[in-house]
Structure 1
Amino acid sequence: MIQKIAEDIYSRQQEMLDLLRQLVLIQSGSHNKEGLDRMAETMAGILAGTGMDSRVVPFTHCGNMVIARTPKAGEQKGLLLVGHMDTVFAADTSFDWFQEDETCAYGPGVLDMKGGLVVGVFALKALARFGMLQDLAVTFLCNSDEEVGSPYSRGLIGELSQKNKMALVLEGGGLDGELVVGRKGKIGLQVQVWGQGGHAGNFSGSSKPSAVVEAAHKVLSLEELNSPPRIQVNVGRVQGGTRPNCIPEKALLEVDIRYQDTGEEKVLQDRIQSILKTSQVPGTSCTWEVVSSRPPMPRGKQGEALYGLAREAAEELGIAIGQEVRGGVSDANFIAAMGLPVLDGLGPLGDHDHSPSEYILKNSLTQRCALTAACILKALHQDKGT
């Protein structure tokens, strides 16, 4: 049956590309509520066509979201499918087009992750065409704030995780077909350094209370925490001062921290707080705020078992896959923290996401769609003991 479903999916590549074009041309940067609300209406309508109970979940401070459920999902725990509708590109971006050549498709979010939404939609459509979807407990969440840390959807993800037994996440796959079996945890910090303003020619003493000089000390100390591949610290943005003849009164640091497992988090946080609490320049001080965080998605037996099902499906379909642990985070991190086995990276293959060079390999749309449909079937049938 998996082969028949795959053949049906492979015959629909142009339909998939048409939907991809439609979604990509809806501008849906994380802060573009109007565009995200259009995405939500579009996705809800499409998913309703599969026979699922599909509804738009309204939000005030971010784009609306979509939850679609099969009838069985209301009766028993099953499989949670997750994809996000937002992109990193702001509403005023000039990267607002969709293009194709013989092998690739290009556009904002084509890989991250409107291509993944297309994979999820057509996997469910195929199962519905073969009369299978109605007998499977599947929930599909399309959220609107993943690229900014899922601050509003995090609770929804947790709630839906409690109502399911396993999850598949539709982020893009690796260029060699890799699926994601683990992800690092992340902490995002915003650090404000305070000094004492004044005329650069008038200060006295051996050290002036410059926020920029203190910030420089903190940058070097934070960067010294790097211990790749397990711990990665990056001071990605530095801002401070006003004019060359003014002692800087304030400076801003934005810091991205990645770590391998929960055991490292407490030690790392203690070391970071020690750096931030200690001033090297007299007359300066510091405040900080955690602006985003995600727990790690560790490799484990349950996740490996889910990958094993994907490997079986890939062998039946003649598709090459592999596995990888990524430094980047996704909603799979939150799902794993709820104790669910989760497999990520089921979206199409591509590269250069978060840039105007973002692309996918067109033939990977159908391949990943067939793989996703097969994974849903195998996971749920094995869970039933059939």
Structure 2
Amino acid sequence: MIFKIFESEEIISGISEWASIESPTYNANSVNKMMDVAESFMSGIGADIVRTPGSGGYGDALQASLRFEHNSESKGILILGHLDTVHLEGTISKELPIRREGDKLFGPGVFDMKGGMYMACNVVKQILKVKDGLSLPVSFLFIPDEEIGSPSTRHLIEEVAQSYKYVLVPEPARPGKLITGRHSFLRYILHVYGKPAHAGVATGIGRSAISVMAKIIEQIESYSDITKEITYRVGNINGGNFVNVIPTECHAEVLCVAPNKKL
């Protein structure tokens, strides 16, 4: 059976190697180092490479295509995924190293989603070792900015996906499960502006932007309804310049997630 061509240790080693290359979304150079590795892998199995330079300060996008002479269809399978991660650089060398415990592998990107993309790449590589080709054309699209909503590549994803019969996103699911869709989400940036004054002596004169933002955050997060899988979360906040001055500005980012757009 064809499944015997897959070696667990090789897959674990490959995922560990990819995960050890830190690639936080906001560091284009680091993301591109990961893209270099993926490009080398795909070139090594005969894929045609198209690399789209990054824009907006984000990393490059990488498309790797495999076509075979006996294919009867022009449309094939697109394997879509991202190689950027959430964690900041230095995380692997400190609190979250890549490590293996028994039959489990831990570390940033192992699950979301370098692991899934590496396994998909490895599947194609191993099949091509025992077969002359695949029954359908197969392409991979590696995205650099999915963790923040793909602001620089959404148009590319939509354009490329139209050319394929099937699109697979190999982001791992829970044990025994298959993911067939994703929740809807919205991101908001909140701005609050106050009135300056000395924080120690001018009690009642200034207006603190941070104090007002704190009340707004509490109200926004109260809209969450866990029973309906609806969440409102503020994950980033900054404001003020000096501890002795009532802050005149405060900014926060809100992530809203729901099972569908109607909710």
Same fold (TM over 0.5): yes
Paired with 2:138 and 2:72, the residues of 1 have a C-alpha distance of 9
CA displacement, residues 15-52 of structure 1 (integer Å, 9 cap, x when unaligned):
21222232222222223333322222221221223333
Deviations 1:277-326 (A, max 9, x none): xxxxxxxxxxxxxxxxxxxxxxxxxxxxxxxxxxxxxxxxxxxxxxxxxx
Q: What code does the residue aligned with 1:89 have?
A: H
Task: Quickly say closer, same or farther: Cα 1:193–1:213, change in 2 above 3 A.
Answer: same
Q: Distance in 2 between matches of 1:17 and 1:45?
A: 18
Q: SS of the residue aligned with 1:255?
A: strand
Say whether the 8 Å CA contact 1:84–1:113 is kept in structure 2.
Answer: yes
CA distance in 2, matches of 1:74, 1:113: 32
Deviates more, 1:158-167 or 1:214-223: 214-223
Counterparts of 1:209 and 1:192 in 2: how far apart (Å)? 14
Quote the residue 2:135 is aligned against: 135
Give 2:111's aligned amino acid. L
Letter in 2 for 1:211: A
Specify the alignment match of 1:287 in structure 2. Answer: none
Contact 1:184–1:261 at 8 Å: present in 2 too?
yes
Aligned-residue identity in percent: 29
Quickly say closer, same or farther: Cα 1:124–1:217, change in 2 above 3 A. same
Residue number among 179, 187, 210 corresponding to 1:212 in the alignment: 210
Output the CA distance in 2 between the equivalents of 1:248 and 1:41.
Answer: 44
Alignment counterpart, residue 7 of structure 1, candidates 4, 8, 30: 4
Alpha-carbon distance in 1 for matches of 2:182, 2:136: 28
Structure 2: stretches of 5+ with no match in the other structure: none
Aligned to 2:260: 261
Q: Displacement of 1:110 after TM fit?
A: 1.6
In the other structure, the counterpart of 2:41 is 46
Letter in 2 for 1:87: T
The 2-side partners of 1:233 and 1:43 are apart by 35
Q: Counterpart in 1 of 2:121?
A: 121
> Does the residue aligned with 1:152 lie in a helix, a strand or coil?
coil
The separation in 2 between residues aligned to 1:88 and 1:184, in whole angstroms, is 18
Given residue 110 of structure 1, which amino acid in structure 2 is its aligned partner? V
In the alignment, the residues of structure 2 paired with residue 236 and residue 21 of structure 1 have an alpha-carbon distance, to the nearest angstrom, of 28
Q: CA offsets, 1:79-132, max 9 Å, x none?
A: 210121112222333347433233222333122222112211111123322326
AA of the residue aligned to 2:207: P
How big is the shift at 1:139? Answer: 1.4
TM-score (norm 1): 0.60
Kindly report which structure 2 residues correspond to 1:1-386, keeping only aligned pairs within 5 A, or say none: 4-9=1-6, 12-60=7-55, 61-71=57-67, 76-93=74-91, 94-95=93-94, 97-131=97-131, 133-174=133-174, 176-200=175-199, 201-202=201-202, 209-228=207-226, 229-242=228-241, 246-264=245-263
How far apart, in 2, do the equivalents of 1:253 and 1:26 lie? Answer: 30
Instruction: For residues 244-266 of structure 1, give each alpha carbon's deviation from its aligned partner in whole angstroms, at most 9, with x where no partner exists.
Output: 654332222221111222223xx
2: CA distance between counterparts of 1:159 and 1:217? 42
Task: Decide whether the 8 Å contact of 2:75 with 2:136 is kept in 1.
Answer: no
Against the structure 1 CA distance between its residues 76 and 260, is the aligned structure 2 distance closer, same or farther, given a 3 Å change threshold?
same
Equivalents in 2 of 1:97, 1:74: separation in Å?
A: 46
Cα 1:132–1:168 change in 2 (3 A) is: farther
The structure that is helix-richer by fraction is 1
SS in 1 for 2:181: strand
Q: Is the contact between residue 44 and residue 55 of structure 1 (CA under 8 Å) also seen in structure 2?
A: no
Residue type matched to 2:65 in 1? R
Distance 2:238 2:134 in 1: 55
Q: Is the 8 A contact 1:45 1:54 kept in 2?
A: no
Paired with 2:213 and 2:72, the residues of 1 have a C-alpha distance of 53
- Secondary structure class of the residue paired with 1:128: helix
Unaligned 5+ residue runs, structure 1? 265-386
- For 1:171 and 1:62, the matched residues in 2 are separated by 21
TM-score, with length taken from structure 2: 0.84
The letter for the 2-side match of 1:150 is S
Structure 1 distance, partners of 2:13, 2:210, is: 51
Deviations 1:144-193 (A, max 9, x none): 2112221222121111111112211111221x222112321111222110
- Structure with bigger RCO (C-alpha 8 Å, 6+ apart): 1
